[in-house]
């Protein structure tokens, strides 16, 4: 009875292990010429068994050849025509599927997946499955247009793109058209994508694409048309942007009376000077309440008074000069000039006749008063220069 029990336990263990190590696949795979396909080969990994080796082989009807082999030394591709086109996942335990890229017509055949495991008691278990691969040429299918943006109504200045997608054996060629009046079509460009960097209202229209490949014997497949609408920038928005760019976002309304208080103009022989109330405005955001006014600056009264005094002095000096020139030539002329100490030092080489004034001295300055006959030409030139200097100092 004991021996029978051990046999039953061993049989159950063997059956359960085989169930865990059972390979899963499909009977047949149809691959598209010049496309990619995957041949499935999977199992449920267990800690009691360790994968020792993995290999894929193909039989084209003339014999079996190993394509791919993996063991402790790494991956090896044994057939040169499959190099660079086949691969098996490395970091996914239990997945031994074979990926074949750029399928060719001679790739059709029977593909076998074989895996060898080692158990804890050092026994080897081998399993294999076979899949039939048939490579066919598929004509291009009806293309579908996909938009980069959720909608096809966009503002001017934006960017968008349209993609044309079709199934079938590559290579597939694409062309984009724009529908014109009376059912005509304008060829725009070749390629799977139609893009705009900066949309304009003139880009609005109806678009469609065509797909074609060699497998379809030259048959052309046309997509459904889509309508693209480009809206212009609203006028109110453009005006608001111009106002914000000009005024900095601050607007104030001032009555005519307020504007007259804010600016004063003084018209004199000197250049016009404008004094604005905004010079005394505090730094920071300004809120115009409509009734609040800023106090006039003292500069409004000081500067016009100073300029008026300077202008009056200039007029008096000019009148005095005219009066002197109108006097008779034969009348003895005496000039009274007020000079600084430095100017008196310059006149020392000339002959000067000091005189006393019969009136009381009106000035307490240290300046000297001299009188001289005008008959000397040098003296007349000097007096003229001093008068010009006095007039200039009076104006300044």
Give residue 314's pLDDT band: very low, low, confident or very high (50, 70, 90).
Answer: confident
Average pLDDT over residues 197-210: 95
307: closest CA among 260, 264, 338?
A: 264
Quick check: 53 and 115 in contact, CB under 8 A?
Answer: yes
**Same CATH fold assignment for domains 2-136 and 144-231:** yes
Q: Residue 322 above 60 pLDDT? A: yes
**Residue that wins the pLDDT comparison between 13 and 206:** 206
pLDDT at 234: 66
Q: Is 150 helix (H, G, I), strand (E, B) or coil?
A: coil
**High-pLDDT (> 90) share of the chain, %:** 45
End-to-end CA distance of the chain: 138
Mean pLDDT of all residues in the chain?
A: 74
What is the β-pairing status of strands 160-165 and 193-196? antiparallel
pLDDT at 265: 38
Q: Which fold has domain 2-136?
A: Immunoglobulin-like (2.60.40)
70: closest CA among 49, 87, 92, 45?
A: 87
**High-pLDDT (> 70) share of the chain, %:** 58
Q: Is 260 helix (H, G, I), strand (E, B) or coil?
A: helix
Cα–Cα distance between 288 and 278 in angstroms, integer? Answer: 13
| pLDDT 10s digits, 340-395 | 544 444 444 444 545 444 444 444 445 554 444 545 566 667 667 666 665 555 55
Q: Which fold has domain 144-231?
A: Immunoglobulin-like (2.60.40)
**Residue that wins the pLDDT comparison between 151 and 54:** 54
Domain residue spans in the chain? 2-136, 144-231, 263-277+295-323, 327-395
Neighbour count for residue 33 (Cβ, 10 Å):
19
Neighbour count for residue 65 (Cβ, 10 Å):
13
**Residue that wins the pLDDT comparison between 381 and 26:** 26
**Residue that wins the pLDDT comparison between 276 and 348:** 348
Tokens representing 95 are: 């997945």
Quick check: 205 and 179 in contact, CB under 8 A?
Answer: yes
């Amino acid at each position: 009875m004991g021996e029978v029990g051990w046999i039953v336990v061993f049989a159950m263990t063997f059956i359960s292990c085989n169930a865990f190590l059972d390979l899963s696949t499909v009977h047949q795979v149809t691959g598209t010429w010049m496309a990619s396909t995957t041949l499935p080969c999977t199992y449920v990994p267990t800690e009691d068994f360790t994968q020792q080796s993995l290999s894929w082989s193909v039989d084209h009807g003339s014999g079996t050849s190993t394509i791919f082999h993996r063991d402790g030394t790494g991956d090896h591709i044994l057939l040169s025509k499959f190099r660079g086109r086949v691969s098996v996942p490395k970091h996914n335990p239990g997945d031994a599927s074979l990926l074949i890229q750029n399928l060719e017509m001679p790739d059709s055949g029977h593909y076998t997946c074989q895996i060898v495991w080692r158990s804890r008691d050092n026994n080897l278990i081998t399993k294999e499955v076979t899949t039939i691969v048939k490579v066919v040429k598929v004509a291009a299918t009806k293309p579908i247009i996909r938009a980069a943006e959720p909608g096809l109504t966009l503002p001017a200045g934006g960017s968008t793109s349209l993609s044309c997608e079709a199934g079938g054996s590559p290579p597939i060629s694409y062309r984009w058209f724009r529908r014109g009046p009376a059912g005509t079509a304008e060829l725009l460009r070749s390629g799977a994508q139609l893009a705009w960097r900066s949309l304009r209202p003139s880009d609005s229209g109806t678009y469609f694409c065509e797909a074609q490949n060699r497998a379809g014997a030259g048959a052309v497949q046309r997509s459904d048309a889509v309508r693209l609408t480009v809206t212009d920038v609203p006028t109110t928005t453009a005006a608001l942007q111009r106002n914000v760019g000009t005024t900095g976002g601050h607007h104030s309304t001032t009555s005519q009376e307020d504007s007259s208080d804010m600016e004063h103009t003084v018209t004199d022989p000197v250049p016009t000077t404008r004094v604005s109330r905004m010079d005394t405005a505090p730094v920071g955001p300004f809120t115009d309440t409509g009734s609040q006014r800023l106090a006039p600056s003292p500069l409004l009264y000081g500067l016009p008074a100073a300029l008026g005094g300077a202008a009056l002095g200039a007029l008096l000096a000019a009148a005095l000069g005219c009066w002197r020139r109108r006097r008779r030539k034969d009348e003895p002329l005496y000039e009274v000039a007020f000079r600084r100490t430095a100017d008196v030092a310059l006149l020392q080489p000339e002959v000067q006749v000091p005189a006393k004034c019969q009136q009381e001295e009106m000035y307490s300055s240290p300046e000297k008063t001299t009188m001289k006959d005008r008959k000397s030409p040098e003296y007349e030139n000097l007096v003229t220069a001093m008068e010009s200097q006095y007039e200039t100092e009076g104006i300044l």
